[in-house]
A and B are shown apart, each in its own frame.
Chain A
């Protein structure tokens, strides 16, 4: 089945540690996105990538880093510089950044203790 996967579903880390969230898609999509969602709020864009080996900062990129070495993969690293990392993280992909529909993964809920 084609789709977009994120792992793990729940992640716990100690304060001060970097953590990398996985996002994989087998939809052959060029564009990929990372969003952050806080309780009762909408999604906010962290980073996006229109094509492999390229990515751009979104609205709240500080304290995060990404890479796009493969078309299928767009991992997000939450660094110790992120002041409030506890949140629900969602990855999405689209056929191209010109495409009409973004497909979302199931999300990773990160809790920093």
Chain B
């Protein structure tokens, strides 16, 4: 399975942008990059995903390096509610229907937001 590497923790100030990095040097051409986040004592929630191009949605932006070996989740203005563990996950796009399509969670990055 393709693996991801994330920093264990990061800190941010409220209302400032946050850039959460993820390295995935062994990514294959068919792997999608997914981000989920988990607030304390809750289930994870989907944030964003992409394949090659940068992606934006109401929650965040995903910047993908040209060689796809790294990506960055961008929270444009951090709020206290954004304090969570953020997971970067690679998901095989060729066989979502099999086990290759399952999500494999690492330890993620714990983001703290200071008021």
Contacts and interface: CB of A to CB of B under 8 A. Distances in A.
Contacts of B46: 100-103
Given A40-B107, A42-B107, 19 more contacts: A33-B102, A41-B107, A42-B87, A42-B105, A43-B105, A45-B102, A48-B102, A90-B43, A90-B44, A91-B43, A96-B97, A97-B98, A97-B101, A98-B96, A100-B32, A102-B36, A102-B103, A103-B46, A106-B43
Interface of A: 33, 35, 40-45, 48, 50, 56, 58, 90-92, 96-107
Nearest to B89: A42
Nearest to B8: A40
A83 to B, nearest CB: 21
Contacts, number: 57
Contact of A107 (B41, B45, B97): B41
A96 B44 CA distance: 18
Interface SS of chain B: helix, strand, loop or mixed?
Answer: loop
B103 A100 contact: no
Contacts of A90: 43-44
Contact of A97 (B42, B45, B96, B107): B96
Given A42-B106, A48-B102, A104 B96 contact: no
Size category, B interface: 20 to 34
B47 to A, nearest CB: 10
B105 A104 contact: no
27 contacts: A35-B105, A40-B107, A42-B87, A42-B106, A42-B107, A42-B108, A43-B44, A43-B105, A45-B102, A48-B102, A50-B97, A96-B96, A96-B97, A97-B96, A97-B97, A98-B96, A98-B101, A99-B96, A100-B32, A100-B46, A101-B46, A101-B49, A102-B44, A102-B46, A102-B103, A106-B42, A106-B43
A104 B107 contact: no
B107 to A, nearest CB: 5
Contacts of B105: 35, 42-44
Interface string B73-115: 0000000000000010000000011110111111110000000
